[in-house]
Amino acid sequence: MEFETAKQAAERLGVTVRAVQKWAKQNKLEGAVMHGNSWLIPKGTVPSANHHDSVTREESRNTRMPLPLLSASFDAGKIKDYIDSIEDADDRNTALAEYFYYTGDEEKTLELLEPYISSDDSSLRYSAGIMCAFSNIFKGHVHIANYISDLVTKDLSAGLKAESPPEIHALEILAAYIGSVIFQLPMPSAPKLEDYLKYLPNGTRLYGCYVLAYESYKNKDYGRAVGICDIAHWQCATTFIQ
């Protein structure tokens, strides 16, 4: 068997060395071995992306929400204070990566999220897949974005066929719609997103409305697009009034 260094594997996969090292430590790169203080990776190995068999139904019920910053609310000018207040380290890293992406620092987004592309937690995988694909597209690394999209697609296909709570299906369906509508990438067929919006938290639900409105806009169904936006604005206003 021929091996390559973590750096060589990172260059081949289009990710950071840190991501490769974390995957190797988590036994997600089959055949990877520690030699001294360095990891050696079998040539051609890719991280395992399908973990549905290892996640129980009860664990799925407790899965965190993806894109925690998008799903949150905080006072104007207090975004960093909010991120610092997140107790869970993985959620905090994801929120910080979102912040870097929204402020135009795709490099830091990738550095934080690439290790999560092969996470056992579905919401972390979807957050990482979505944000890393976006970041690589904006950096002009379309081949890497397609590679990540392929991992997410395979994972989503397995997830949509599994018996999971509606909250989990809502995450998977939203991820499939984002890939199809926003990225214009081939994604697995999924149930209608509008039937699952109620299972998403407010911030993510509003983003789901944006995806649906954008889909209608692309299809030149402008009346439906405006209607979705009006309903989303009304819901947002009602939430704040309450």
Among the listed ranges 135-139, 181-185, 214-218, which one has the minimum average pLDDT value?
Answer: 181-185
What are the residue ranges spanned by the domains of the chain? Answer: 1-45, 57-241
What pLDDT is recorded for position 236? Answer: 66
Angstrom distances, CA of residue 227 to CA of 222, 233, 241 = 9, 10, 21
**Tens digits of per-residue pLDDT, 43-72?**
888 876 544 444 443 343 345 677 888 777
- CA quadruple 6, 185, 187, 176: dihedral sign: positive
* pTM score of the predicted model: 0.65
Q: What are phi and psi of 20, to 5 degrees?
A: -60, -45
pLDDT at 110: 92
Rounded to whole angstroms, how far apart are CA atoms 79 and 95? Answer: 10
pLDDT of 201: 75
- Do 19 and 117 form a contact (C-beta atoms < 8 A)? yes
- Which tens digit of pLDDT belongs to each residue from 167-205? 777 877 887 888 788 877 777 778 899 998 888 877 788
Helix boundaries (H) for 162-221: 166-177, 202-218
- Cβ atoms of residues 49 and 118 within 8 Å: yes
Q: In terms of Cα–Cα distance, which of 148, 156, 153, 154 is closest to 131?
A: 148
- For residues 242 and 240, what is the distance between their CA atoms, to the nearest angstrom? 5
pLDDT at 237: 57
pLDDT at 60: 39
